[in-house]
Every structure is written in C-alpha cells, then in structure tokens.
Amino acid sequence: MATFKAPQTHQEFMTEYPRTTADSLAGQMLRHYWHPVCFSRDLKDIPYGVRLLGEDLVAFRNTNGALGLVGRSCAHRAASLEYGQVTSEGLMCSYHGWTFNSEGRCVAMPLEPANCPLMKKASIPSYPVQEYGGVVWGYLGANKGNPPPLPKIDMLVRDDGELSMERGDIRDYTYLNWLENIADNGHVHVLHTLLPGVIPDDIRPYINTTVDPDWRNSKFSVFETNYGMKTVLVQNTADPNLKFVNTLSIVFPNCWRMANNGGIPPDWSNDRRESGGLLRIIDDTHFEVMRLSFVRQGNYRKGFRASDPKLDRSIKDRLRGTVEKKDYDYRQYPGWEGSTSLEDLIMQQSQGSPADREELLASSDAGVVRLRRIFRKCMEQVAAGEQPKAILNNDQGVIEADTFKGLVTVDELKVGPENMPSSRDGRGLLRDATGKLLFA
C-alpha cells in the first residue's frame, strides 16, 4: 500500500473527500470498514456481479453455502466470472472451467493435465465476506486476516416487527451527497414542505398540530457518537412541557437511520416508523441505495412501501413527481415536487462533486460540517498510519443507532449522543384513548 499525505487545505480535503479507489487516501480510509455488498437473498444459484469502491467483484454462495467475494476477471484469460458457474467448490469460469474457491485459489483446470503445477500459481483477488441480518458485507481492506467487527445495526435483527429491504436504486453521483443530505435536517423543513401534505383522516386525531414549524424557533444539535454521528432537532409545541423531537443517525461511513415519513408540517405525526438504509459505494461517482423499512404493530401502514424482491432495480421508475406535468416544463424531472425521494435525488444530483462545488456554509449546516470533520479526521489518521474511527457493537453485540421522532416531555428530553426513549418501547405508536394499538 502506498502512503498518502493528509489534505492540508479545505480544497485539498474536498478534492480527496469523494474518492473511493485504492489509489487514494479516502479510498484507503474507506477500506478500514465493512461495506454492504447485496442482500443475502441475492445470492442464489448464479453469481452476483458487484462493483464496490471502484473494484469489479463477484459475490456468490457456493452450493455448500459458503460465501465468496472475488475479483471479476478470471486469472486465465480474463473472462468475467459474473457469468461463471456456482459449484460445490466455488465459482467456475464458464470459458475454460477454471474454478476458484472463496479464498480465490484455483481448484480445477479441466483442460489441463491433472495436478497441473500452474494451478498453484493461478488465483484471483478475494475478500472477507460475512452476512448479518440478511445483508452480505464485504471487507476490502489490507487486514484480511483480522478485519474489524461487523457493524451489527440493531434494525437488521429487530424481532418486534416487519423489516423490508429494497435494492437497485443506483445513483450517478457521490454517496457523500446522500450522506450530507441525511446530516442536514434543515432541508426537510424547506425542500420537503414545498407541497402541502394532507393529514389522513384516520390519524388526524392523533396529531399534535401545535408544533411550531419555524426552524428559527427550533434547536438543532449535532453529536459525534461511537458509531458515527447523530442529529437532534427539538421543536416547541403549545404545551411548554411538551417538545417534538426528531433524531437521525449515521453509522460511519455507509449507513443511516431516520423516521420513514410523517413529521413534516402540517402533518406532524407522532408515528415512529423506523427507516434507514445502507449505501453500497460503487465508485467515486456512483452508489446504490439499499433501503430498510421497519414497521411494527401500531404503526400507521398506509403508504408503506411493501418489500418485494422483484421490485429491486425498478425503484427509480417509481421516483416520479406527484405534481401534474405542465406542458411547458422541459426539465429533466418535470412535476417533481411532492415526492420526497425525488426531491432529494434532484438536489443531490445537481450538487455535483464536492471537489468542484463552490459553497457557503451557514449555521444550519452544522451536521454537514460534523460529517466532514469525521471524514477528515479519519483520513488524517490513515495518512498517519493509524486506525480511523472504530465502529464497535455494544455489549449486546449490536449498534444502537436507534432514532426517535415524536413528542417527549421536557424532563425526558435527552439532547446528546445517547438515544431518546427507544423506538423499541412502543412510544409513538398510535393508540386509542384506552391505550389500545390503533393499527394492528
């Protein structure tokens, strides 16, 4: 591994920041972490081609169940192993039958003499690969023999509801525009309120409509945590003893947690449906959004996006605006306002690369600033030969990146790196006057 110099200026940092390949400092830094590759359900009887951090790889599960994550090109004539055959031993190149196991070692050459000495020389790159909670993770770093612990996000193994996963929304810009958008609670209060929402009749009785939507009257706080970072927004209500709180978490460098929807004026919902996702960082200018949605009894289910593996790769088709297209709207995304996902896509895509962007950061960008500081510090640590920020599971073996959205009394308000009352406790679920769950 080459050595890299830490960025000395802001512009040097912004140029290095979006890089992902092994020949860059930022790419080396990212290689200290596990990255989502695909969902477990994606590995069936055919290989799964996947580009990760600028490397063309193939993931597979051999017929004995062992996982593999290897380079895309066969060691023989460089044909793509994405079209290889999954066998009991590993992955066979379809061209001439060379077969590689999960360690990348060649174990069969059917067109060469038995025990051909060349077999010892033939190998392809391979990387540690593990599964957790239905997600396949890969580690592309140098420390293959002793990779860091898997980031076991609690949401992936919650047993008190239904988790759905969607994949296939591939973006053509840096993943950092997505992450910064998550760290930036402020945009929700402008961008996502462009079209006034309608409070559904069946949850209207449970909405606190006195929440003050004015950002200037709210308090926005940002904290580095032992898994990444967290933002906390506290808004006033008519009751001085009652606050409306919304927290978001980022598990460094590729996961996020938030409330799925609701909570945007004027539909101030107390509904705490869990949401979030994982970013497959494809390369400097591409990433895949792997979405997670968690719903439990008592959540308002309407508008919930059902998970269906067949829907993978078609999510972009559903990123349509809800406004009727004007016949004089010649933009790439006509009638875009009203779809939160599309609103975010347009802003993020149009920002371009951090390296080329001219910016003027303000007080409400505190989350973005914090996120960059964490990236920059990690890059400096790697440049100095040190380990970057550790992402450690807690005593229960998971990462509690739990988020919270809903009403809390002033005395239970916790504005800090620790969590609000957990989303596990049933707080925020919609109940009738007797406490019975409304949506069961």
**Least CB distance to a second copy at residue 382 (A):** 27
Residues of this chain, 347-386, that bind a second copy according to CB under 8 A: 347, 350-352, 357-365, 368
**Least CB distance to a second copy at residue 174 (A):** 12
Among 15, 21, 73, 393, binds a second copy (CB under 8 A): 73
The number of beta carbons lying within 10 Å of the beta carbon of residue 328 is 6
Residues of this chain, 149-168, that bind a second copy according to CB under 8 A: 168
**Least CB distance to a second copy at residue 371 (A):** 13
DSSP 153-184: BGGGG--SSEEEEEEEEEESS-HHHHHHHHH-
CB 166 within 8 A of CB 312: yes
Among 15, 51, 89, 97, binds a second copy (CB under 8 A): 97
Quick one: how far is CA 384 from the chain centroid?
28
Number of C-alpha atoms within 13 angstroms, CB side, residue 25?
Answer: 25
Pairing mode, if any, of strands 274-283 and 255-259? antiparallel
**Least CB distance to a second copy at residue 109 (A):** 7
**Please, which residues bridge with residue 274 across strands?**
259, 294
Structural element, H or E, at residue 371: helix 366-383
Integer Cα distance of 344 and 30 in angstroms: 24
Residues of this chain, 291-350, that bind a second copy according to CB under 8 A: 309-310, 312-313, 326-331, 333, 336-337, 343, 346-347, 350
Quickly tell me which residue has 């909670």 as its tokens.
133
Residues of this chain, 230-259, that bind a second copy according to CB under 8 A: none
Among 9, 65, 114, 146, binds a second copy (CB under 8 A): 114
Using CB under 8 A as the binding rule, whether residue 46 contacts a second copy is answered as yes
Using CB under 8 A as the binding rule, whether residue 186 contacts a second copy is answered as yes
3-state secondary structure 302-351: CCCCCCCHHHCCCHHHHCCCCCCCCCCCCCCCCCCCCCHHHHHHHHHHHH
Using CB under 8 A as the binding rule, whether residue 49 contacts a second copy is answered as yes
Using CB under 8 A as the binding rule, whether residue 77 contacts a second copy is answered as yes
Residue numbers of the site for a second copy (CB under 8 A)? 41-42, 44, 46, 48-49, 73, 75-80, 82-83, 85, 94-97, 109-114, 116, 118, 121-122, 168, 186-187, 189-191, 194, 215-216, 309-310, 312-313, 326-331, 333, 336-337, 343, 346-347, 350-352, 357-365, 368
